């Protein structure tokens, strides 16, 4: 009775263990599905542009001017750039205190830092974006919104090499433009400069990147005049799904290699070994884009898995020989 009870109990314990282990791939599939779906929705909203609700929120603000800043990642051969253009500039006339014209927009890297003043100094001439005939009249009771669409030119920004994680750390690398400054050229009816800080909506299109755009209001010195501006920081990280699947594939490969130790059949072990060899060989092409021509973290980890596989095979052979000797001694006895 005791032997039957122990066998039955051990069988139930094994069933529970196998059932628990079978839940692991289901759990991984659920997480991976959520990561991919969440990012898919995020990217579809990104490429669809700015929705009506965002426009409505801006129109209800107290600022008289707001602009839409379009940011897109562009690749030219082996060089990445950020393409920036101004999609739309709107003047909300009900918020104006005087008649104004927005004549241009500046998007500049920092040039000099003034030691005598606590902000950045710029010497500029022409704006980066010209806005012809974009004027608004002060009307206290009016709900009118005047819009201009000056989408004629754009600007290419390079990434700051000194302020980023390099491709060696793919997929945990990042791109950063370094700090940019954005301000408006606004004039009143007399042609005098008016200092107006706009509301900004950033519309990003980054199909292969997760973008983070930060806008902080700052004071800058432009041609010896104090101007309200925005400090713009744009950081690009690899997609969460790419990071997740790189870690997942490498971790699964590690556990499969370890599983060789528990295989008793020589033919099964050889088949598993060949599958792992081909899998690791093809994994480089799957995980690492063709655009990356340098040695990355996955490269090093895959080489480490090859070394680990050799060690596991050595342990498996020694273990197999040990059991064969034991069986031979028992048979002899």
SS3 letters for the chain? CHHHHHHHHHHHHHHHHHHHHHHHHHHHHHHHHHHHHHHHHHHHHHHCCCCHHHHHHHHCCCCCEEEEEEEEEEEECCEEEEEEEEEEEEEEHHHCCCCEEEEEEEEECCCEECCCCCCEEECCCCCCEECCCCEECCCCCCCCEEEECCCCCCEEEECCHHHCCCHHHCCCCEEEEEEEEEEEEEEECCCCECCCCCEEEEEEECCCEEEEEEEEEEEEEECCEEEEEEEEEEEEEECHHHHHHHHHHHHHHHHHHHHHHHCCCHHHHHHHHHHHHHHHHHHHHHHCCCCCCCCCHHHHHHHHHHHHHHHHHHHHHHHHHHHHHHHHHHHHC
Q: Is residue 233 located within the same domain as residue 315?
A: no
Task: Tell me what pLDDT residue 145 has.
Answer: 55
Q: Is residue 112 located within the same domain as residue 174?
A: yes
Q: Is residue 231 located within the same domain as residue 284?
A: no
Task: Tell me what pLDDT residue 286 has.
Answer: 84
Beta strand 155-158 with 79-92: parallel, antiparallel or unpaired?
Answer: antiparallel
**pTM (2 d.p.):** 0.76
Q: Is residue 204 located within the same domain as residue 255?
A: no
| Final residue before a domain boundary, out of 238, 269, 290 | 238
202: number of Cβ within 10 Å: 17
| Final residue before a domain boundary, out of 238, 266, 297 | 238
Q: Is residue 115 located within the same domain as residue 56?
A: yes
Q: Is residue 330 located within the same domain as residue 308?
A: yes
Q: Is residue 146 located within the same domain as residue 284?
A: no
Q: What is the pLDDT along the chain (333 residues), one digit of tens a residue?
A: 555 554 455 666 666 776 676 677 778 778 888 888 888 888 887 777 777 777 777 777 788 888 888 898 887 777 778 888 888 888 888 888 889 999 899 998 876 555 455 568 888 888 888 887 788 888 766 555 555 555 556 788 888 766 667 888 999 988 888 888 999 999 988 888 888 889 888 888 888 888 889 999 998 888 888 899 999 998 999 998 889 889 988 988 898 888 888 877 778 888 888 888 888 888 888 888 887 888 899 999 999 999 999 998 888 888 766 555 555 444 444
Q: Is residue 17 located within the same domain as residue 120?
A: no
Task: Tell me what pLDDT residue 144 has.
Answer: 54
Q: Is residue 153 located within the same domain as residue 290?
A: no
Task: Tell me what pLDDT residue 117 has.
Answer: 56
Q: Is residue 152 located within the same domain as residue 97?
A: yes
Task: Tell me what pLDDT residue 47 has.
Answer: 73
The domain of 197 spans: 52-238
Task: Tell me what pLDDT residue 3 has.
Answer: 53
Q: Is residue 79 located within the same domain as residue 212?
A: yes
| Final residue before a domain boundary, out of 238, 266, 292 | 238
Q: Is residue 78 located within the same domain as residue 212?
A: yes
For the chain, the domain total comes to: 3
Which residue, chain included where needed, has tokens 């000194």?
A: 162
């Amino acid at each position: 009775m005791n032997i039957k009870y122990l066998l039955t109990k051990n069988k139930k314990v094994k069933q529970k263990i196998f059932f628990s282990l079978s839940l692991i791939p289901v759990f991984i599939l659920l997480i991976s599905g959520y990561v991919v779906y969440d990012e898919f929705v995020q990217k579809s909203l990104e490429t669809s542009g700015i929705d009506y609700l965002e426009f409505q929120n801006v129109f209800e603000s107290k600022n008289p001017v707001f602009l839409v800043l379009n940011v897109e990642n562009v690749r030219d051969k082996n060089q990445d750039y950020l393409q920036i253009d101004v999609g739309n500039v709107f003047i909300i006339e009900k918020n104006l205190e005087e008649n104004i014209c927005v004549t241009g927009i500046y998007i500049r890297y920092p040039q000099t830092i003034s030691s005598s003043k606590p902000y950045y100094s710029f010497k500029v001439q022409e704006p980066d974006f010209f806005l012809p005939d974009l004027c608004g009249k002060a009307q206290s009771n009016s709900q009118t919104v005047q819009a201009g669409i000056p989408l004629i030119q754009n600007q290419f920004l390079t990434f700051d090499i000194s302020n980023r994680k390099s491709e060696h750390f793919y997929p945990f690398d990042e791109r950063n433009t370094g700090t940019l400054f954005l301000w408006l050229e606004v004039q009143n009816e007399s042609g005098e400069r008016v200092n107006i800080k706009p509301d900004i909506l950033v519309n990003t299109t980054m199909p292969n990147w997760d973008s983070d755009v930060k806008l902080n209001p700052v004071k800058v010195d432009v041609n010896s005049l104090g101007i309200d501006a925005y400090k713009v920081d744009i950081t690009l990280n690899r997609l969460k799904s790419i990071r997740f699947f790189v870690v997942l594939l490498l971790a699964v490969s590690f556990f499969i290699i370890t599983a060789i130790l528990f295989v008793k059949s020589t033919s099964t072990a050889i088949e598993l070994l060949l599958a792992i060899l081909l899998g690791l060989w093809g994994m480089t092409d799957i995980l690492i884009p063709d655009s990356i021509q340098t040695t990355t973290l996955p490269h090093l980890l895959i080489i480490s898995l090859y070394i680990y596989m050799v060690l596991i095979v050595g342990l498996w052979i020694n273990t197999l020989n040990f059991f064969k000797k034991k069986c031979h001694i028992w048979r002899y006895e």
